[in-house]
């Protein structure tokens, strides 16, 4: 124990540990001022966002901007969503222990990690092969053994693991793919930006009860387009 304490003291005087502490502080500030202050109150979502190291999900060159109030480029013409949007979509999905989630649009893997802090398992599909590979490696390094990343076209969902209690689509299209509606579990919730993929969309929440789907339309949002593989 004593040796461990000494090692910790030595390490925490190091730039590595100081940087880690600085990012932890920035992350808590992000949650307080950008998320909780704007009305997101779902405790598990706030807790997850205080924990997931967002700076390790963006390119090293912009690491210091990771906790700013905006989306950021992650390469291949794609973006990691603004923290508020990630929190909002997570809270809307009503994640909880025992649930299984599907995400379409892995991107950096950040949204998947936030969900994986709360639910049992996250399945996530990414259409850019390099991003799928990078995110899978990142999530493995960070110890997220409950996230499965797959390269492919998420339009068709992941039928082998359906049904899902939660389906989050983090790319925009002018309609909700039928396979995703079919793969929603009883009592499940699907969140997706729907509208003109080139301009503005509306955040939609679908709920399935007794096999019947109801739709709730929320505020305008902007996401990158959902692409299709030929």
Residue 183 touching ligand SAH (CB under 6 A): no
Nearer to ligand SAH, 110 or 123 (CB): 110
Of 83-122, binders to ligand SAH (CB under 6 A) are 104-105, 107-108, 110-111
Q: How many whole angstroms separate alpha carbon 94 and alpha carbon 168?
A: 11
Residue 2, exposed/middle/buried by CB under 10 A (0-12, 13-18, 19+)? exposed
- Size of the chain in residues: 230
Q: Residue 103 has what DSSP assignment?
A: E
Q: Single out the segment in contact with ligand SAH by CB under 6 A; choices: 38-46, 47-55, 147-155, 157-165.
A: 147-155
Phi, psi of 104 (to 5 degrees): -105, 120
Q: Active site includes 81?
A: yes
Taking the alpha carbons at both ends of the chain, their separation in whole angstroms is 58
Nearer to ligand SAH, 105 or 188 (CB): 105
6-25 burial, b if ≥16 CB within 10 A, otherwise e?
Answer: eeeeeeeeeeeeeeeeebee
Asked if 142 and 168 count as a contact pair (C-beta separation under 8 A), the reply is no
Closer CB to ligand SAH, 180 or 206, in the complex? 180
The window from 10-18, 36-44, 91-99, 220-228 that contacts ligand SAH (CB under 6 A) reads 220-228
* Contact of 171 with 195, CB cutoff 8 Å: no
- Compute the C-alpha angle 207/152/65, nearest 5°: 80
Cβ 210 to ligand SAH, closest distance in Å?
A: 29
For residues 125 and 162, which CB has a smaller minimum distance to ligand SAH in the complex?
Answer: 125
144 interacts with ligand SAH by CB under 6 A: no
Catalytic, out of 14, 81, 108, 135: 81
The stretch among 17-25, 39-47, 78-86, 213-221 that binds ligand SAH (CB under 6 A) is 78-86
Considering only 34, 45, 81, 90, the residue that binds ligand SAH (CB under 6 A) is 81
Q: By CB under 6 A, tell whether 131 contacts ligand SAH.
A: yes
Could you give the 3-state DSSP secondary structure of residue 70? coil
Cα gap 12→17, rounded to integer Å: 5
Catalytic (active-site) positions: 81
Contact footprint for ligand SAH (CB under 6 A): 78-81, 104-105, 107-108, 110-111, 125-128, 131, 153-155, 170-171, 224, 226-228
């Amino acid at each position: 124990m004593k040796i461990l304490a000494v090692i910790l003291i030595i390490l925490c005087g190091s730039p590595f540990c100081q940087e880690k502490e600085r990012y932890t502080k920035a992350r808590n500030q992000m949650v307080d001022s950008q998320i909780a202050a704007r009305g997101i109150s779902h405790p598990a979502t706030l807790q997850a966002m205080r924990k997931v190291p967002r700076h390790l999900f963006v390119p090293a060159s912009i690491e210091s901007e990771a906790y700013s109030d905006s989306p950021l480029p992650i390469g291949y013409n794609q973006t990691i969503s603004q923290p508020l949007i990630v929190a909002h979509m997570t809270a809307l999905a009503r994640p909880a222990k025992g649930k299984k989630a599907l995400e379409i649009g892995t991107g950096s893997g950040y949204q998947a990690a936030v969900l994986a802090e709360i639910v049992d398992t996250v399945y996530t599909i990414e259409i850019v092969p390099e991003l799928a590979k990078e995110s899978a490696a990142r999530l493995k390094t960070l110890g997220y053994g409950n996230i499965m990343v797959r390269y492919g076209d998420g339009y068709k969902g992941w039928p082998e693991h359906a049904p899902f209690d939660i389906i989050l689509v983090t790319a925009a299209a002018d309609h909700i793919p039928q396979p995703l509606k079919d793969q929603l579990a009883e009592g499940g919730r699907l969140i997706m930006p729907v509208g003109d993929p080139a301009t503005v969309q509306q955040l939609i929440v679908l709920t399935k009860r007794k096999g019947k789907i109801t739709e709730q339309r929320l505020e305008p949002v902007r996401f990158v387009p959902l692409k299709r593989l030929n």
